[in-house]
Amino acid sequence: SFAFLRIHLHGFVSLDLQSCEGCDQEQNSVEKLLRKVEGRMKDLFQNGIKLVKSLPALMRGESVDRYLATADGRIMEYDFDEVLYDENSPYQNIKVLHSKQYGNILILDGDVNLAESDLSYTQAIMGSGREDYTGKEVLILGGGDGGILCELVKLKPKMVIMILNIDQMVLDCCRKYMRKTCGDVLDNLKGDCYQVLVEDCIPLLKRYAEEGRTFDYVINDLTAIPISTSPEEDSTWEFLRRILDLSMKVLKPDGKYFTQGNGGNLTEALAQYEEQLGRLHCPVEFSKETVCVPSYLELWVFYTVWKKSKQ
């Protein structure tokens, strides 16, 4: 065990204790030691201490890394207990970790994508139960976990086209480890009322637009909006603008476009996205709602966009 005591000029005192834990008895010993240190500090400084705060231990070097960051940069500790899948595709790192609380969680490049507990996400990006998909034509962009497709086919649509956007390994992984989310819809790439296409969505959207093919609903589950407007994010913003414009071109005049936004705390990024909605080739209107997604450990914003009616 190692202890680091730091005394700062402005009166802040920190004590970091690093210990190699081997059993619950050792953990209890550390907690008792910290309580004794806290009591001794109070005795030494008498009434001179404004606040004493003990933080939970950070667990390092375990077989399963339990720490992930929220969209706004806060570190969250999960109850992961097993790594079910961890592979690198040509495009990204793909993990499925098991959580005691949330079930299996799909994590792409370190970001939580979806957990088996996150039906609220799927429902929100489909319109929160307000839409009638019976006999409708729907285009899904992304959605590799299969959750949206699984819920849609229950609602008797005429046809659902899902463009996975090139990473076949995500689909293969979810087919095996996210079955509580996707059911059996990913077992085959084509069903009675759906078809899954593994290809780049932009050329396909362009082709649909040129052919005049339109949809009642476009559901974009490709990526969250960027969290900054720095130069390295320009390509992501440009990608989102192109997807928005092309989606409007294949959306019927009375159709609706659904997409995720980002975490509720990222107000500047959300405002930037709403500004982009005013720059499309056709005028649009939008609404948004904030939903609690369990495994995200934060509130998440979802958008509904539609073409502005001509008066």
pLDDT for the residue numbered 161: 98
CB atoms within 10 A of CB 119: 16
Q: In this structure, what DSSP letter does residue 231 have? A: G
Of 13-27, 152-166, 168-182, 215-229, the least confident: 13-27
* Stronger pLDDT, 228 or 9, i.e. the higher one: 9
Q: What average pLDDT does the chain have?
A: 91
221 is catalytic: yes
pLDDT for the residue numbered 257: 98
pLDDT for the residue numbered 226: 82
State percent of the chain over pLDDT 90: 70
144 in a structural domain: yes
Phi, psi (rounded to 5 degrees) for 126: -105, 5
Amino acid present at 186: L
In a 3-state reduction of DSSP, which class is residue 71?
Answer: coil
273 in a structural domain: yes
Give the containing element (helix H, strand E) for 82: strand 80-88
pLDDT for the residue numbered 44: 81
* Stronger pLDDT, 230 or 201, i.e. the higher one: 201
Q: What average pLDDT does range 23-38 have in this prediction?
A: 75
pLDDT for the residue numbered 38: 82
CATH number at residue 90: 2.30.140.10
- In the structure, how many helices (H) and strands (E) does the chain have? 8, 15
pLDDT for the residue numbered 184: 96
pLDDT for the residue numbered 92: 94
Count the domains in the chain.
3
pTM of the model: 0.89
pLDDT for the residue numbered 24: 60
CB atoms within 10 A of CB 78: 21
CB atoms within 10 A of CB 148: 28
Q: Judging by DSSP bridges, how do beta strands 67-69 and 13-18 pair with one another?
A: unpaired
57 in a structural domain: no
pLDDT for the residue numbered 178: 98
Residue 181 near residue 150 (C-beta atoms within 8 A): yes
For residues 95 and 13, membership in a common domain is answered with: no
- pLDDT category, 21, cuts 50, 70, 90? low
Instruction: Write out pLDDT tens, residues 165-207.
Output: 889 999 999 999 999 999 999 999 999 999 999 999 999 999 9
Which member of 221, 234, 245, 254 is catalytic? 221
In a 3-state reduction of DSSP, which class is residue 53?
Answer: coil
7 in a structural domain: yes
pLDDT for the residue numbered 61: 82
Instruction: Write out pLDDT tens, residues 42-84.
Output: 888 777 788 888 888 888 888 899 999 999 999 999 999 999 9
62 in a structural domain: no
pLDDT for the residue numbered 302: 98
* Domain interval for residue 24: 2-45
CATH number at residue 237: 3.40.50.150
225 pLDDT above the threshold of 80 = yes
Q: What average pLDDT does range 239-243 have in this prediction?
A: 90
- pLDDT category, 244, cuts 50, 70, 90? very high
What 152-159 contacts at long range (C-beta under 8 Å, 24+ apart), as own/partner pairs, is: 152/126, 152/194, 153/185, 153/191, 153/193, 153/194, 156/193, 157/133, 157/193, 157/194, 158/193, 159/193, 159/194, 159/195
For residues 145 and 188, membership in a common domain is answered with: yes
Lookup: tokens for 257: 């476009």
Give the CA dihedral 149, 152, 154, 155, nearest 10 degrees.
-170
For residues 171 and 241, membership in a common domain is answered with: yes
